[in-house]
């Protein structure tokens, strides 16, 4: 036995939830995590009216979540590759449930910031583990799910929260208590599924943050990272400035409008993943960049003309760019990873995502207050996204199409020699 590896866990299904059902449980966790992250978006206006803070506070609350996710991804991103997916997921879901309690009892900005920090830390810890677990069970479907379900979760959280705020009593409590119940059920479900990866030594060492990529995926990551950064910068725009901008264009204070922009962006993004799932990866990447540029250009024109209808058309086109660009990036990288690399590599991709989402949005929040105001800052932010997309296109053209390393294929993942990983056997049980 390799001295760096602990004994295998069971490779036969011994728990009540079989692999196929476990895959959907895991996908639902990503949806819930991203829904919870976007749930506060329509509530910011209510918080601002009740607690009297400035627009810059909104972007600080938004930005601190991104920082917490980044920190957690860097620290916990590779942990599940060593201790297993289930322990990391159960701990992260428990922390997410605690964040929902903090949100529901928040009485001021300090409590809101604390809730966002706990939420960000738990989300970052979970994202790599749950994404890798889906790939352990079924690598092709897992790769696709990692691109599809984040958009679905973001869209669900933004829209449902908006309706709760607008039409139900105690909105700043109801949405979080509902999510709390979902997380409790999901934690129980995770405890009933099989572990999908063998344990390896080095768990404590994996907690030391380092940006280290396996040689087999470095070229792919360099090709994908600029596109991923650009599309998540767009998500940051709709998460930070979007609610106030939509309400200004529409001329309404409705909380539904506060989350509608992010919903349109995210739901079109999710649908585009399904629509383009059979297209070549490079085609998907180029489609994403083109749609991103066109969509943001339409959005900027809508802001200039004060046209709500054109704004949502531009948002939908930009959503195609978001979904295609993110899917293309995921499909470029993840099929090239080996079993005990999946969580760490996926976490680094999410680091790129949240850097793109967090940094521009925090700067935009400062400019809204100390710069040219909401409209001018929105125009500047949109122009920045277009520049980022064009830079991503240049990077993609320069890198070309990354090739799999020996022993790997984009469709099947790692070639198996000797003892078989748990993920391969699990995938065979699903098929």
Residues facing residue 413 across a β-bridge: 409
Q: Give CA–CA dist 179/177, Å, rounded.
A: 5
d(CA 28, CA 45): 28
Question: Is the predicted pLDDT of residue 399 greater than 50, yes or no?
Answer: yes
Contacts of residue 33, defined as CB under 8 A and 6 or more positions apart, other chains included, come to: 96, 123, 126, 127, 130, 153
Distances in Å between the Cα of 365 and the Cα atoms of 142, 254, 255 are 36, 21, 20
DSSP calls for 28-61: HHHHHHHHHHHTTGGGHHHHHHHH---HHHHHHH
Give percent of the chain above pLDDT 70: 87
Give the model confidence (pLDDT) of 24-40 as tens digits: 999 999 999 988 988 88
Per-residue pLDDT, 211: 65
Helix residue ranges per DSSP H, 168-280: 171-191, 203-206, 218-240, 242-250, 255-275
Q: Is 200 helix (H, G, I), strand (E, B) or coil?
A: strand
What is the C-alpha separation between 259 and 247, in angstroms, rounded?
10
**H or E element in which residue 22 lies:** helix 19-38
From CA 156, how far away is CA 154, in angstroms rounded?
6
Query: 426 or 357, which is more confident?
Result: 357
Task: Tell me the three-class secondary structure of 220-231, residue by residue.
Answer: HHHHHHHHHHHH
Checking if the pLDDT of 128 tops 70, the result is yes
Summarize the confidence of residues 423-430 as an average pLDDT. 36
Give yes or no for residue 375 having a pLDDT over 80. Answer: yes
Q: In sequence order, what are the residues at sequence separation of 6 or more whose Cβ sits closer than 8 angstroms to the Cβ of residue 46?
A: 165, 171, 172, 255
**Which of 130, 133, 145, 150 is CA-nearest to residue 19?**
133
pLDDT at 419 over 50: no
Span 238-267, average pLDDT: 82
Section 380-398 average pLDDT: 88
Tell whether the model's pLDDT for residue 422 goes beyond 70.
Answer: no
**308-366 pLDDT, tens per residue?**
999 999 999 999 999 999 888 888 888 888 767 777 787 788 888 888 888 888 788 78
**What CA–CA distance (Å, rounded) separates 385 from 388?**
5
pLDDT at 210: 66
Tell me, what DSSP letter sits at residue 416?
P
Host H or E run for residue 394: helix 373-399
Choose from 176-190, 193-207, 233-247, 378-392 the range with maximum mean pLDDT.
176-190
Cα distance between residue 383 and residue 339, in whole Å: 40
CB neighbourhood size of 181 (10 A): 11
pLDDT tens per residue across span 79-121: 888 888 999 999 999 999 999 999 999 988 899 999 999 999 9
Q: The tokens 């992260």 sit on which residue? A: 92
With cut-offs at 50, 70 and 90, classify the pLDDT of residue 288: very high
Provide the token pair at 395: 């990077």
The domains found in the chain, sorted by start residue, are 19-196+214-403 (1.20.1250.20)
**Mean pLDDT over each residue of the chain, to the nearest integer:** 81
């Amino acid at each position: 036995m390799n001295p760096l590896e602990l004994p295998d866990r069971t490779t036969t299904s011994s728990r009540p939830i079989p692999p196929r059902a476990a895959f959907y449980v895991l996908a639902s966790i990503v949806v819930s995590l991203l829904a919870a992250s976007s749930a506060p978006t329509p509530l910011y206006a209510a918080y601002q009216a009740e607690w009297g803070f400035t627009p810059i506070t909104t972007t600080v609350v938004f930005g601190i979540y991104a920082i917490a996710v980044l920190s957690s991804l860097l620290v916990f991103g590779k942990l599940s590759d060593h201790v297993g997916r289930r322990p990391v997921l159960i701990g992260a879901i428990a922390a997410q449930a605690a964040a929902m309690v903090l949100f529901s009892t928040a009485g001021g900005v300090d409590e809101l910031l604390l809730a966002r920090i706990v939420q960000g830390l738990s989300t970052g810890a979970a994202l790599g583990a749950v994404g890798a677990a889906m790939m352990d069970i079924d690598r092709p479907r897992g790769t696709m799910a990692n691109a599809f379900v984040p958009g679905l979760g973001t869209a669900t959280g933004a829209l449902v929260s908006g309706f709760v705020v607008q039409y139900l009593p105690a909105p700043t409590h109801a949405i979080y208590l509902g999510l709390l119940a979902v997380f409790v059920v999901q934690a129980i479900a995770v405890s009933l599924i099989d572990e999908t990866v063998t344990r390896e030594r080095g768990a404590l060492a994996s907690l030391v943050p380092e940006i280290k990529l396996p040689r087999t995926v470095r070229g792919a990551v360099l090709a994908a990272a600029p596109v991923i950064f650009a599309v998540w910068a767009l998500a940051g725009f709709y998460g930070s400035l979007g609610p106030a901008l939509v309400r200004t264009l529409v001329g309404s204070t409705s909380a539904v409008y506060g989350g509608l922009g992010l919903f349109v962006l995210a739901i079109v993004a999710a649908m585009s993943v399904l629509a383009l799932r059979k297209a070549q990866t490079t085609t998907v990447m180029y489609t994403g960049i083109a749609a991103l540029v066109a969509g943001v250009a339409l959005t900027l024109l809508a802001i200039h003309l004060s046209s709500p209808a054109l704004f949502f058309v531009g948002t939908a086109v930009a959503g195609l760019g978001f979904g295609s660009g993110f899917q293309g990036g995921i499909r470029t990288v993840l099929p090239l990873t080996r079993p005990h690399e999946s969580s760490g590599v996926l976490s680094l991709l999410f680091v790129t995502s949240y850097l793109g989402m967090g940094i521009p949005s925090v700067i935009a929040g400062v400019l809204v207050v100390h710069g040219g105001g909401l409209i001018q800052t929105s125009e500047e932010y949109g122009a920045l996204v277009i520049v980022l997309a064009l830079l991503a296109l240049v990077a993609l053209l320069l890198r070309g199409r990354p090739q799999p390393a020996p022993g790997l294929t984009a469709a099947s993942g790692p070639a198996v020699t000797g003892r078989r990983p748990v993920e391969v056997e699990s995938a065979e049980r699903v098929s």
